[in-house]
Amino acid sequence: MLELSRQKKQTNKGKAAYSKAKHVMKKIILMMIVISSIALHTTAKPKVHITVGITIGKASKNCEKLGLCKVTIDGDKTMIKGGLDLDEDAGTLTITLSESDLIALQNDKLFYFQGQNYITFDEIWICPEEISNALGFRTSLKVNVGKYPLSYNNGVYSITISL
């Protein structure tokens, strides 16, 4: 009988130790989830937006035809108001252009945009250093020759470029 009582005590001690270990493991797992969540939030790269002035056209053709002829941070009143939006997590650069400025300042280029789903650049555009720096690049940003998705929403054309 005494032996049976000792076995029960040992079993109860074993159950208590198991329960305590289980409780500690739950706490460790919860801490790991919290730490992982914090790490994911801190490693997300920021989205960057800069306002620019844009002249549509090929630089090699004195701004004729289609391309990015001139893009500056200090755009003047002869340039289309636009923006550059860098989303490093998505790996995209989005160029936005005001339709009203396009109509007022470069109406001859409107047909490249109206009703289109894509826009084709057949000339490489090297982003000016001041803009590359403002976007957070240490080297020059380059937009290659290619066909890029074009969308229109609320008076703004958006060209999405995969980096």
Per-residue pLDDT tens over the stretch 125-144: 999 999 999 999 888 899 99
Mean pLDDT of the chain: 85
Q: How sure is the predictor about 44, in pLDDT bands with cuts at 50, 70 and 90?
A: confident
Predicted model pTM? 0.73
Residue type, 17: A
Burial class (CB in 10 A: 0-12, 13-18, 19+), 79: buried
Q: How many CA atoms lie within 13 A of 158 on its CB side?
A: 13
The Cα 60–Cα 28 span in angstroms is: 62
β-partners of residue 58 are 64
Residue 42 reports pLDDT greater than 70: no
The Cα 157–Cα 163 span in angstroms is: 19
Check: CB of residue 153 under 8 Å from CB of residue 163.
no
Tokens standing for residue 82: 């636009």
Give the pLDDT of residue 2.
Answer: 52
